[in-house]
Structure formats: C-alpha cells, structure tokens
Amino acid sequence: MSSELEPRPGVAAPRRPVRALSRLAGVTVLAGALVVGASATALAAPGPSADAVTASATAATAFDAATRPPRTTHGPCAYTQTPDEPAARPVPLPPDPRRTPARGSVRVTLATNHGPIGLTLDRATAPCTVQSFLHLVGKRFYDRTSCHRLTAYPTLSVLQCGDPSGTGEGGPGYRYRDELPTDLPPAPTDPTGERRVYARGVLAMANAGPDTNGSQFFLVYANSALRPNYTIFGEIDGAGLATLDRIAAGGVAPTAEDPAPVDGAPALPVDIRKAVRSHHH
C-alpha cells in the first residue's frame, strides 16, 4: 500500500504525492497529503498440463486463503493482517495487551548516513501507534532502509520513511486504527480552514486512508499545512532536526521530466542504518 501526504492547497493528498493515491499505488505524499501505497498479489492459474487433482487441490487452497478472514489481534489496538498487501519485510503482528501502555515516553534513535535523528515517542497521545513502532524497531524492520520521499512545497516540508522496499508501496503486512490529533491550530495559509499546522519537529504516520496505518512515517522539518488525518506520535530532537535540515538543503533529486522538483526522492540519499530504542529514558 502506498502512503501519502497532501501537498498544494486544492490538490489531492499525495501518497507519493499524498492522500489522493489509491491503495493500489504506494506510499506517497502530496503537497498537501502523506499517503502510503498498497501492493496487490495474484495467484497464477495452473497450466493446462497440470494434473487435474493437483489443480483442484491448489484451487481449493487458494480459495480458502482468499476467503479466510485476516487475522486480527484481540487487544484494543486490533492490528489486522493485510493479505492483499504483504509485508515488505517479514514481521509478526505486534503485541496487543489489554492494557496497552498509555503513559510516558520512549526514546528511539534513527542512525542515518547523515547523522542521528532522535525521536521521543508519546504513549499517551498514540498508544497503539507507539506500540507498533516499537515492535517494528525491535524486529529491525527499519534497519537498512531508505527514506523514499522528500517534499519541499511551501506548505508541506517532510521526509517520508519506513518502507523497506524503498518504493513507497511497502508496509508491515498489517494495519491499525488512527489516533488523530484534535488540538492542532488552523493553518494560516489555508483559506478553507480544513488544514491544520503540523509543526516543525512533529513525527507522524503516513497512511492510505482512514485506519490504514502501517510502517511508513514522516518527519516534519518546517511547519506544514495538512488535514488532521495523520496520527502524531512523537517529536524530533534538536540534533535530529539539524540532520533533517542538511538533508532538506540538498533538495529533491531532479528527473528528466522535472529538473527542479519539489516532491520526490531526496537528492542526498537517506539511509536508516539502524533504529535503536533507548531503555534509559
């Protein structure tokens, strides 16, 4: 699935552009939306030379797999498998205790090729999101991955990461519900009054629509105007913002179609070498 963010006012949210992308696209952010794309899989039919009994058994197995309801955890977060959007890197469903931790903060550091990006996760604001993120960190899901999207719109300035495939289409093979902010100030640049300020330093989830959170997230390096459709689950520390500023200063990689893009792969490739949780905070 692809995740996106909205870009320019009046433009559909991008998954690579933003939220306007369908689940068949990939993770994308538009100049006004942050979206994650989705991938689909299909079963090939047996060849004409296949044994009839084997073909029948294969068809029955495929039918069972297609009709069997996706597995969902039984706790309050209800993490749900997405069989049509398999994991970009194998990982089990997160733990989902009846009493999901909802107090305190947790430190995670993304060790990148441009320097560290320190994150403070807020359990009280988004307990299910933090639980999932820490699960993926613990399973080394984010290690040796690249951040596939950088935006430099006047109203959307983010770095989007979290897809091991590096395409914006990949995720963890499960989804879970939103934990949306309710107290963000209106974006002064939005005449419609629908967008809110996702401030510099915010850490939030990209998605492909309501309740489709997975593994892709975005780091806000300058105040951005977005509809409040993205879960905020932490903040970036000063050293991390300095790292983001260096990445943003490099701009977006030019293409043959667009020699001066404001949305696309970072001109300075960004690799997350390792994501590490601190147990001393």
- Closest by CA to 33, choosing from 164, 210, 170, is 210
> What pTM was estimated for this model as a whole?
0.81
Flag whether 29 is in a domain.
no
- pLDDT exceeds 80 at position 30: no
What does the angle CA 16 – CA 20 – CA 23 come to, to the nearest 5 degrees?
A: 75
Flag whether 67 is in a domain.
no
- pLDDT for 32 equals 54
What's the mean pLDDT in 23-46? 42
- pLDDT for 69 equals 85
Query: If you count them, how many residues does the chain have?
Result: 281
- pLDDT for 64 equals 52
What's the mean pLDDT in 237-260? 97
Residue 94 Cα distances to 26, 75, 77, 281, angstroms: 22, 10, 9, 22
Exposed / middle / buried, residue 167 (Cβ in 10 Å: 0-12, 13-18, 19+) = middle
Residue 134 Cα distances to 143, 166, 253, 281, angstroms: 13, 20, 31, 14
Flag whether 75 is in a domain.
no
Flag whether 131 is in a domain.
yes
Flag whether 37 is in a domain.
no
Give tens-digit pLDDT for 194-218: 999 999 999 999 999 999 999 999 9
- pLDDT exceeds 80 at position 41: no
What is the tally of structural domains in the chain? 1
Q: Number of C-alpha atoms within 13 angstroms, CB side, residue 238?
A: 0
Q: Could you please report the per-residue DSSP string of 179-216?
A: ---S-PPBPTT-TTS--EEE-TTEEEE-BSSTT-B-S-
- Name the pLDDT band for 138 (thresholds 50, 70, 90): very high
**φ, ψ (nearest 5 deg) of residue 26:** -175, -170
- pLDDT for 66 equals 55
**φ, ψ (nearest 5 deg) of residue 227:** -65, 145
Flag whether 173 is in a domain.
yes
The secondary element (H helix, E strand) that includes residue 276 is strand 271-278
- pLDDT exceeds 70 at position 73: yes
Q: 202: domain CATH number?
A: 2.40.100.10
Mean pLDDT score of the chain, rounded to an integer? 84
Flag whether 138 is in a domain.
yes
- Name the pLDDT band for 96 (thresholds 50, 70, 90): very high
Flag whether 63 is in a domain.
no
Domain with 163 in it: 105-277
- pLDDT for 58 equals 44
Q: Number of C-alpha atoms within 13 angstroms, CB side, residue 275?
A: 26
